[in-house]
Amino acid sequence: MRRATALLDPLHRVDHLLFVAVHRGLGLRPLVSFLSLVSRLGNGSIYLGILFYLVARGGSYAVLHSSATALLGLALYKLLKQLVGRPRPCEVILELVPAVPPIDRWSFPSGHTLHAVSFCVLLASWAPELLPLALPFAALTGLSRVVLGLHYPFDVAAGGLLGYAIAEGMLKLFGPA
C-alpha cells in the first residue's frame, strides 16, 4: 500500500500547498461560523429532512433508493479512508486547530462532500425543484471541509467525484420509479 501512496506524493505536496494557501492566505476566517453550520448539517440532518420531504411527496421508492445510495457511499468512503490512511491537515500542520472536531481520523476522501454530491445527483431525478438549494449546499460543503481545516482540496474533489459516480451508478441500476 505504501507504493500506491508514494505514487501520489507529488500530488499530496501540491494539495498541501493549496490547503495552506486557502487556509492562511485568502482571509476566509469570517466564514468559519457559517461553514461550521453547513458542515454540521452535512453530518446527516439535512438528508433526513430531504427524506421526509420525499416521503411527504409519496416518494417511498426514492427514500429507499437514496438510503441505499448513502449506505453504499458510506461503505466505500470508509474503506478508502482505511486503505489510503491519509492524515488530516490538522495532524500534519501541528499549529492548525480545526474549527470543528473531525468525526474520524483519516482525510481521504471527504465523506461530507461525497454525500452532498450524491444527493444532488439523486435530487436531479427525484426532486429537481430542490436543486437550487442542493447545488450551493454541496459546493459549500466541500469548501467548508477545507476552510474548517479538516480536508485537503484533493480529498474534497475525490469525495465529490466518488459521490457523483455512486449516485449515477445507482440511478442506472435502479433508476427513478
Annotation marks residue 151 as catalytic: yes
How far apart are alpha carbons 80 and 158 in whole angstroms?
A: 11
Annotation marks residue 16 as catalytic: no
Beta carbons within 10 angstroms of residue 38's beta carbon: 24
User: Considering 23, 65, 112, 115, which one is annotated as catalytic?
Assistant: 112
Indicate left, alpha or beta for 149 from its phi (over 0: left) and psi (-120 to 50: alpha).
left
User: Residue written as cell 469548501?
Assistant: 143
Q: How far, CA to CA in Å, does 163 sit from each of 82, 145, 170?
A: 18, 15, 11
User: Considering 23, 65, 115, 151, which one is annotated as catalytic?
Assistant: 151
How far apart are alpha carbons 76 and 50 in whole angstroms?
A: 22
The residues annotated with a catalytic role in the active site are 112, 151
